[in-house]
Amino acid sequence: MRLKHMAIIIGVCYGIMAILPIFVGDVRFIMNILIMCLIWAVVASCWDVMMGFAGIFSFGQVAFFVMGAYCSGILAINHHVTPVLSILIAGLFTAGMGVLVGLPCLKLAGPYVALVTFGVHMALQPTLRGEIGIALGSGGSVGLLTIPPISMFGYTFSSANIVPTFYLTLLVSLTCALIIMFMIKSYWGVAFLALKDSQDFAMSLGISAFKYKLMVFALTSFLTGIIGGFYGHFYGVLSFRMLDLDLFSILMVMMLVGGLGHFPGAILGSFLVVAGSELMAPLGAYRAVAMGALVVILVLALPDGVMGFFLKRSANKIV
Amino acid sequence: MFSEDTILLLYEITDVIIAGLSTGSVYALMAVGMTLVYGVTKAFNFAYGEFFNMGGYFAWILIFGLGLQFGGYLMILVIVMPLMFVVGYGLEKLLVAPLRKRQDWENKVMMLTLGLSLFLSSLYMVVFGVSMKSLPPILDGTLEVGQLVFAHQDIMIFIMSLGGILLFGWMLNNTRIGMAVQAVAQNPEGAKIVGIPQARIFAATFAISTVMVGFGGILLSQKWFINPNSGGIIMVKAWVVTAFGGMGSIRGGLYAAFIIGMLEAFVGWLFGMSYGIIALFILLLATLVLRPQGLMGKGE
């Protein structure tokens, strides 16, 4: 897809989002959902860059999100770091963790990468709940309860004044989306795609697999960590329950609805899926069942997602 | 000669070793199933742990839902094992087989089975509730040798899972279908040329691995509980055992399973159960860095 098309789709998506508060600005419940849309859009896009563009089969994105959220929360509560700074530190911390996880993954084949990253996800929950987590200040099985909201220039962005908070989220989310867009279109993005298509050939052209794969890990986990920290400060409470598979499956559905490797698709997908999932709320506990079934059906029936429809003709020449 | 404390400690260590042996034997069963399905069909099954729980739930339904009285666990195995085979065969035909024609189908299979795993685990939660279920032990009572106490249950789990592995090994080397599976694993093209129905062998392999992990689920659910959320951790454990033992090596998987069963038992005893998975993860990373082909793998 061309840069222009990407920019148009992103612009339309975020433009519609930006108008919505005029109509529903005083309905707290809907505003919360919209903010969630914007946050998940970033996480799903990062995951898409990892899987769809770089072809690294990582299942650790939710773990990075939770790491970012916890890191920022712990810094703000226990060490009284001001929230904006703590979010930045959380992003850097998560980027570091991303590189650490990425290092053993460099030499491994598909399922091993999936396993190591899924293992990070699985090992994070007992770590946060156990003594190690408590020593770090994760609050054990209670979680973090009193994360201060973001405040800048004497103004507090909490859920009490939700419309300004919404626009702040929009700004952060849009910035992340634009960073991802330019990254995909830059030399780096082409290098990612080349490595995905044929690692040996790309390396023979002088593209360092080591450098670029680590870069993908660092960049996607940096953005995920930033948005994770933001989520923590917006919500005010964090629990290791986020690592249950519900969130994981919803993010996966977002990516698949949008179409794997069709970048703005993940943003579109997350808006559609959050809305759809709220509509499915009457299903109660069956919603998770439906989400799981949806993943299976989407992989089988709609491998390119919504974006695949738009791009049917040029599906093979995305670059 | 020894002080009172030392003797007590020795007893405690014996207990831990027994626990390690019985869980290790079930891990061996699961790892063999996994190395089979990945080695032969190259399809990585993320829903492996859910099939483990499926075996447990089937047994639970038979015992508590339908009130099965006669025959005990033998009857349960006779009913559940064919059921698991049918489920595995059907799912492979329905979900995995259509993907084989596509590009990068291996990744697609991973995503699909992950979706299947989410579907099944939330289905269990809706149908059976969030609370854990327990199964009655195979055999009550204990065996006392001097002052050492062995639960009959542990001994039975050990014997039955080893028996399962031996039976499987015999099948692989002596029956037509076993030899066909080996042929497909060694050379898919050649197997096709001599007229082995590849699609059917893939489905059968998937089904056999489902049966093995379901068997493991029935055995181990008596000691642990059936937890609808535990599928992911079980899958990771089975995969760690497989990777540590060496992909495609049944004997390596056997050794690895006992080493990991012991490791987990000792870590659980020394530091607490929640550290088990962290220890496994560190072991996995160390294996991948130091000896990527595993203990007894063939290497590149």
Q: Do residue B122 and residue A292 have CB atoms under 8 angstroms apart?
A: yes
Q: Is residue B295 part of a domain?
A: no
**B170 in a structural domain:** yes
Q: Length of chain B, please?
A: 300
Q: Measured on CA atoms in the order A300, B180, B191, B248, is the torsion positive or negative?
A: positive
B29-62 pLDDT, tens digit per residue, is 888 888 888 878 888 888 888 999 998 898 888 8
Contact of B229 with chain A, judged by CB distance below 8 Å, is answered with yes
Q: What residues in B contact A299, CB-CB < 8 Å?
A: 99, 108, 111-112, 115
pLDDT digit string (tens) for B216-249? 888 888 887 888 888 888 888 888 888 888 777 7
Query: For all residues of chain B together, what is the average pLDDT?
Result: 83
Domain assignment present for B299: no
Q: For residue A128, what pLDDT is reported? A: 85
- In sequence order, what DSSP letters do the residues of chain A get, joined into one string? --HHHHHHHHHHHHHHHHHHHHHHTT-HHHHHHHHHHHHHHHHHHHHHIIIIIS------HHHHHHHHHHHHHHHHHHS---HHHHHHHHHHHHHHHHHHHHHHHTT--HHHHHHHHHHHHHHHHHHHHSHHHHHHT--TTT-B--PPPEEETTEEESTTSHHHHHHHHHHHHHHHHHHHHHHHHSHHHHHHHHHHH-HHHHHHTT--HHHHHHHHHHHHHHHHHHHHHHHHHHH--B-GGGGSHHHHHHHHHHHHHH-TT-THHHHHHHHHHHHHHHHTGGGTTHHHHHHHHHHHHHHHH-TTHHHHHHTSTTTT---
Alpha carbons B86 and B300: distance in angstroms, whole number: 35
Domain contains B72? yes
Q: Any CB–CB contact under 8 A between A294 and chain B? A: yes
**Residues of chain A with C-beta less than 8 angstroms from the C-beta of B106:** 110-111
* ipTM at complex level: 0.77
pLDDT at A319: 47
CATH code at B234? Answer: 1.10.3470
Q: With CA atoms as reference, report the closest residue to A141 among A126, A155, A151.
A: A126
User: What's the predicted TM-score (pTM) here?
Assistant: 0.83
How far does Cα B275 stand from its chain's mean position? 21
Report CB contact under 8 Å: B115, A294. yes
Chunk chain A into consecutive blocks of 10 residues (it has 319) and report each block's average pLDDT, rounded to whole numbers: 80 86 80 88 90 84 91 88 88 92 79 83 83 76 79 74 85 90 86 83 83 88 92 85 80 84 83 84 80 84 74 55
Give CA–CA dist A59/A114, Å, rounded. 6
- Would you kindly state where each structural domain of chain A is located, as residue ranges? 3-242
Q: Is the pLDDT of residue B171 over 80?
A: yes
For residue B290, is pLDDT > 90?
Answer: no
Per CB-CB distance under 8 Å, the chain A contacts of B112 are 295-296, 299-300
Q: Is A59 on the interface with B (CB under 8 A)?
A: yes
**pLDDT digits 0-9 by tens, A190-206:** 888 888 888 888 888 88
For residue B124, the enclosing domain spans: 4-290
CA distance A45 to chain B (A): 17
Query: CB within 8 A of A116, min separation 6: which ones?
Result: A101, A104, A105, A108, B284, B285, B288
**B232 Cβ contact partners less than 8 Å away, ≥ 6 residues apart:** A118, A122, A245, B49, B117, B121
Subunit contact A130:B110, Cβ cutoff 8 A: no
